[in-house]
Amino acid sequence: MITDIASLTFVVELTILVLSAFLGFEVISKVPTMLHTPLMSGTNFIHGIVIVGAIIVLGYADDTFLKVVGFVAMALATANVVGGWFVTDRMLEMFKKRPEPKKESPKP
């Protein structure tokens, strides 16, 4: 009885994962090119939440598997957040007003 419920829960969770992957692909593929960088900035913010979740998992981890999964999740999410910060910073630099070059006064 318990194994039937556990296998049913696994099937439901796997179905949600697959459907969300297809939905995410469809949504992202429809985004115009100009909006990709701002969209990625938002997803990098979400990875900050993943880091918090990984820290919580690592805090309660009793076995080696949970410790490894939590560490890998934290390392990958941290790399994504740091890389996303650099990409966002570079994108915002493009919108800053550049100083105009000084005009030389005409010589008589």
**Domain assignment of residue 85, yes or no:** yes
**Domain assignment of residue 78, yes or no:** yes
**Domain assignment of residue 13, yes or no:** no
Most confident segment among 13-22, 36-45, 64-73, 96-105: 13-22
Please count the other Cβ atoms lying within 10 Å of the Cβ belonging to residue 47. 18
**Domain assignment of residue 108, yes or no:** no
Report the b/e string of 14-45 with b at 16+ CB within 10 A. Answer: eeeeeeeeeeeeeeeeeeeeeeeeeebbeebe
**Domain assignment of residue 10, yes or no:** no
Measure the CA–CA gap between 43 and 27, rounded to whole angstroms.
13
**Domain assignment of residue 54, yes or no:** yes
Q: What is this structure's pTM?
A: 0.55
pLDDT in tens, 45-103: 777 887 888 888 788 888 898 888 888 888 888 888 888 888 778 877 877 777 777 77
For the chain, what is the domain count? 1
**Domain assignment of residue 69, yes or no:** yes
**Domain assignment of residue 1, yes or no:** no
Q: Which domain holds residue 44?
A: 36-94
Q: How confident is the model at residue 1 (pLDDT cuts 50, 70, 90)?
A: low
